[in-house]
Structure 1
Amino acid sequence: MAQPLTTKVAILGAGKGGTALLDLLHQIPGIVIVGITDKNPSAPGLQRARDLNVPVTDEVCDLVANHGVSLILDVTGDPDMERFVLAHKSPGVEVLSGAATRLLWNLIQHQTKLQAELFHAEKLAGLGSFAAGIAHDINNPLQLILGLAEYLAEEQDPAVVREYARDIVQAVHRTSAICRDLTRYARRSLGEESARVDLSVKLDEALKIARYAVEFQDIAVVRHYAPEPIVTGNPDELLHVFVNLISNAVQAMEQGGTLTLHTGVEGRTVIAGVSDTGCGIPQDLIGRIFEPFFTTKPPGKGTGLGLYNVKSIIAKWHGKICVESRVGMGSTFRIEFPPAEPILPENES
C-alpha cells in the first residue's frame, strides 16, 4: 500500500484559531507541523505546541522561508503579515489566510460540535446497559426501607424505633448516592471546562460507575497508584474515558480474571493504564479499534463510538493512547498526558 504524502505545515498565530488548528492537525496522519509562531510570547497556542512537541519560534522569517514547508496557515488576521508571507515564502508554497482561514476555523468549530454530539449520544446509549445494575443497587435499599417501615408500624419501643429510623436514613443516603453518581456521569459535558484532575481518584470513580454497566463476577481488581498523578482536563470527559476502558476490560473477561488500574509519573509524562487478562484483540484489528463505528461486539451491544470518543477526548487534552494486546492473554490500554501546570499565587501570575 502506498504511503500517504506528507504535508508540512507552518502556523502563524497562536491565539484561539492557531490553538484549534494545532489540536486538529496534530491528530491527522500525513500532516507534520514544522513550527508555530506568535508575536505574543504568552499566546495559548505556544504552550499547547510545547506540550505536543511542536517547534515554537519567534523567527517568523525563518519559519516562512523554511524550504521544507508546503503549506502556511496565517491566522494572525494581520494584513501586513499576509503581505510579508507572500514576499518571503519559498516558491510553490501554498498560503491560507484571511477568508480562507476563517472558513477553516468554521469547519473546525463544526467538527468540534459534531464530536461533542457523538460523545453525548454514545454516552446516553451506554446508559441502557446500566439498567440492570442500577435496578439491583437501588432495589436493595428500597426493600430494606420497606421492611423497616413495616416493622415501625407495630414497634412500640422508642430505642428500636430510633435504630430502625437510622437504618432507613442510611439506606436513603445510599440510594441518593447512586442517583447522584449516575446523574453526574450522564449529564452533558461542558466541553471546554478544565480543571486539575487526579487520575487515581478519577479511576476509582469510574470503577464505581462501571459496576452498574457490567457484571464484575469473578473479577479481581488490583490498583497500582502513584501519588498525585495530576493532569489538566475536563473531569466529566476523563471520567467517561475511564468508564469506557474499564467496562471494555471487564467485558473481555467473561470467565473472570484480573483488572489492573495503574497510574504513574515518568519525567514530564503522567500515565494511566487499564489492563485485563481477557480474550485479547487480534493484531489485524488493533489498528481499527479507534475508528468511528467499528466494533467487535455483537449487534445491539455497542455503538462503535466508545474508543473513538476515548481517543478524541485524550487528544483534546494533549494526550495519547496506545494498546498492547495478545489473543488469549489480555490487553493493556496506556494513556500519556502532560502534567498539569502548577497553580501560581495571584501575585505571581
Structure 2
Amino acid sequence: MDPFQYKQQAAHRRQGLKKKIILSILIVGILPLVIGQIMSFYKGREEILEVNGDNFQALAIETARGLDLTLMEEVAQAERIAAEPEMIRELEARRDALSTLDPEQLIQLSAQAHEAWRHQTPSLVEEITQGPLALILHQYYLRTFQSSGRATAALPRSSTRALFVTDIAGRLVASLNTNVEFLHADQPWWKGAFHSGAGKPYLGAVSFHKDLGTHTIALSIPILDSIRYQAVGILHRVYDVTEFFAPTIESIQFGETGHVMLVDSQGTVIYCPVLETGSRLSLTELPSSMVADQSGWTQTAGDGHDGHTTSIIGFAALQGTNRITTSSTQTSWHTFVWKHPDELFAPIQHLQIWNGIFGLIAISLLIALGAMAAERIVNPIRRLQDAARLIGKGELVEPLNIQTGDEIQELAEEVNRMNQQLVSAMGGLRSEVESKTQEMLDLQESTSKILHNVPTPVILLDSQERVTYLNQAGREALGWNMDTLESLKLFDLLPVKEPIQQKLREELNAQSTGTEEAQNHHMANGHKEKFALKDPLSADLDLESELPKNMLEINDRMFWYDWFFIKARFPEKGAIGLVLRDATEESLVQEQLAYREKISSLGILSSGIGHELNNPLVGVIGLGEAIQEEENLTQAKTLAKEIVQHGQRMANVIRNISGQVRGQAQGQVRDVLVVDEIGKAWELVKESLNPSSITVNTAYQCNSAIRAQPEEIRQIFVNVLTNSVQAMEGKGSLSLSTHCSDELITISIQDSGPGIPKAHVSKIFDPFFTTKRQGEGSGLGLTIARRIISRYHGSIQMTSPEHQGTVCLISFPTQGKVKREEGDHEKMAQS
C-alpha cells in the first residue's frame, strides 16, 4: 500500500472514532427519550380510554334507564287498556259465541268477514272502528272528543301507527284505523302474545312496514278474562321507531360525533342518529359482555360505523324491556354510546406531536454536546495513534506530552515507558530469533531424513492430487526412479483401475476438509475386517471374495492403505498423507480363511439336510414295517397316510433347498405391487393354517412397485406370516403396514406372540434353526426369505422384546432408485 492510500485510510478512521462517540452519546440520550415518549403515549392513551369509557358507560346506563322507563310505561298503559271491564265482557261474549261453532263454520265465517273488511264494507268498518271497543281505544289515545262521546276518525300525530284488538281466533274486532289486516292468528306476535291461551306480553323486533313506509316495532298485550285465567283477545299497538325513540336518543349528543344508539343482541340497529334503522353493525362479532344483561365499556377492533379503526363503546342493557324481548324474540336490547376514533384520540395525537417536537430539540442538543465531547477525547487519541505508528517503525524520538489529567494522560506516560523498553529489548530479540530459526531448519531436516528411511511407503499430497513428497521405500515399491516430483499426479504413481481411482478421490476430498471424522476414517476401519459365516443356501458359493475397503492391488501385490492429515500453520490447509503397507502374504492367509469358512457353511448345510431328512425317513421305515405286520386294513391306511405326510415333509425340505438354486429361473422379473403380494400371501396362510381368531390391522401408506419375481416376493411374506401365526398359536392381533420414501418401501409385520428369547435372536436366520416343536418347521423359512430379499438389494430385520411380540421390518429399493443406480452403472461402463 502506498503512503497516500495509508494516509487516506488513517484519516477515515480518525473521522470514524468521532462519529462513534457522537453516535454513542445519541444512543444513550435518545433511548431513554424514546422509551419515555412511548410510555407517555401509551399511558396517556390508556387514561383517555379509561376516562372516556367510564363516561360512555354512565351515559349508556342513563339512556337505557330512560328508554326502559318509557317502554315500561307503554306496556303499563296497554295493560290498563286490556284490563277494561267493558272490553273483557265484550271479548268473553265473542269467545262464547265462537265456541258454539264447529271449525268449518268458524273458518267460513272468518273468510266472509275478511272479504268484507278487504272491500271496506261500511257496516263492518263502522262496527270495527266505531264500536264499543273502538271507543275505549279512542278514549285513551285521541286528544279531542266529540260531545256525543264518539271519537274523531283521524288519529293524532304521534308515534302510534296502528292500535287494534283481536279475539281468540285472531280476527279483528276493534281498530283506530282501517289500514290493518283482518286475520292475525298466523302472525308470530299474535301466537307469542296469545301463548296457547295463557297469554304473555310480546315485544317484537324492528321491521320495515311496507304499507306505512317506515320501520316499526309492535307491542302485543293479552286481554285476559274476568277471572284472569285465559286470554280472550290481544291488544296490538304498532310504533314508528323514529318518532318513538328520537325524542330520547336524538337529544343526547356530545362533541362533534358522539351519540347514543339502540341495538339488539344480534347487532341490528333499532335506532341510531347515524346508521339506518334495521341495518347491522359492521362489528364482525359482538363481544359477549356487550350483549349480556350488564353495563360497561369495551375496546373494539372496529367502530361499528363501517370503520376498521380501534374504538371504544359504552353499553348498557334495558333490564325491564329485555325480560319481554328475551321471551318474545330471544333477543335483548342495549344502548351503545360511541364517538368517532379521530375525535376520540385527537388529544393523544396532539400529545404525540408535541413529544416529537421536544424530542427533536433534545436530539439537537445531544448532537452539539456529543461533538464537543468527541473533540476533547479524539484529539489526544490521535496523538497516541501517531506515536504508536512511529514506535512500530522505530522512529519515535520525542516523548509524548499530553496533559489531560485523566486516563488518557496515564496512557501517554505508559506509551513513553513502553518505547524505552522496546528500544532496549530489540537488540537482544534479533539474536534470539536467529537462533530459533536455525533450530527449526535443523528439525525440518531431521524429519525429512526420518521419513526418507521409513521402510513403509509414504506419499504426501495436496488437495489437487499433486505428489509433494515420496520417501525412498515408496520409490522402490512403486518403481519411481526420477529425482523430480514436479507435476506428478497421484494416479500417475498408482496404476489402479477407474472405480478405485474414484473411491480414492472421494476419500482424498474428505481428508482435504480436515475434519477429525475424515482423518480417522480408515484408521477406524483399516485392519479390522472380519469374515462372517455365509448363507449356505446362497447361489454364489464361489471361493472369490472382495477386497477389504482399504486394500489396493498394485503391480501384482496387495497393500493396506491409510490416510492421515498433517496440520500446519503455513500453508493453512496443511498436507494429506497416504501410507502403504505390503499385505500380500496376509491376503493369502485371508483367502484361506474365506475358503475354510465356505467349507464350514457347506458342512452346516449338509448336517441340517441330514437332520431334516433323517427324522421323517426313520418314521417312514418304522411305519412301513408296521404296515407289513398290520392285518387291519383301516389301521394300515392310517399308517400309510402318515407315511405320505413324512414323504411330503421330506419333499418340502428338498423343494426349499432346490428352490434357492433354481430361484432365478422360476419366473420373469417385472413390476410387483408390494401390498397386493401381501394380500395374496395372507390368503395362502389363511387357507393352510385357518387363523380364525387373529385380528388383522392394516395401515398401508402406499403401494409402491418393485422389480422382482412375484412368486419370490409372495414366498417371503408367506414365510414371515406363517411364523407370526404359528407363534400366536392362532390367537392375537397382526399389524401390517407400509411406509414409502423416495428410495425405499418398508413393510412392517408385527404380531402379539410371546416374542423370541434373547439367546435365539442372533440365530433366527441360520439354516435349519427353529424354536418350534418337532415336525412343525424346517428352520429354512427366514433363511430363504433373507436370501431372496438380499438378491433384490433389500434388507430384513427382526426385533423382539421378550414377551412383547415380534416386529419384522422388510425394505426394498423403489423403482426410482433402481433406475438411477442402473443409469450410474451404465455411465461408469461407458466412461
| TM-score (norm: length of structure 1) | 0.49
Higher relative contact order (CA 8 A, sep 6+): 1
